[in-house]
Amino acid sequence: MSLTLERILHSQGISTRRACRALILAGRVTVHDSLRTDPFSTFEADELKGLHFCVDGQAWQYQTHVTLMMHKPTGYECSRAPSAHSSVFELLPLPFLNRGIQPVGRLDQDTSGLLLFTDDGKLNHKLSAPKYHVPKVYHVTTSEPVTQALVDCLLNGVVLKDSPQRVAALSAAQIGDKTLSLTISEGKYHQVKRMIAAAGHHVRALQRVQIGELTLPDDLEPGNWQYLDELEFKKLF
């Protein structure tokens, strides 16, 4: 399989094919730091992996499917049509939106932390569907001091209105006077908040810090994103 430079840019969400052709002809595209002005120059399949290109100085890397992580700040909804707050999609470059990238699961507007995006539907389903039991770790700040009774209650399971069986945390541990680490895998609606409430406490702040073995990088600031590298991708499973 080979692709023309015009098709490569279009496949990465840069713009329409006609607009991509115009960008190349105008000398606004480089591939591996080399100016390319022929929109019909071709690249073989073995060249596509690791292919880096720039459009108007903005660097991109070719990916059949794009998967990235964001440090989601509070005050943003995981929706393209938010109801009352800004959208997390406003924090991403337009090419990602053009290629149909979607969040893997959702975080409430008042929840921060690790949020994944991908345009790979099968991957999205495997990471978010409850039957795959991908663990997710949250740091929970409560209004009341954390007690051993709260931790035990979460580990033993609580009753939620929409669940006929007790819902238990995979792990729970106190990490501060009013903070605890909580691991779940089901991903029910507002699950962490509802579990804490069912145990007699209230959530003041919530941050997701881990999915699978992938942790939120310390140097990834709120509102910023980065591609997942091969090692980070493997940590998801």
Q: Which residues are catalytic?
A: 108
* Residue 5 tokens, joined: 């430079």
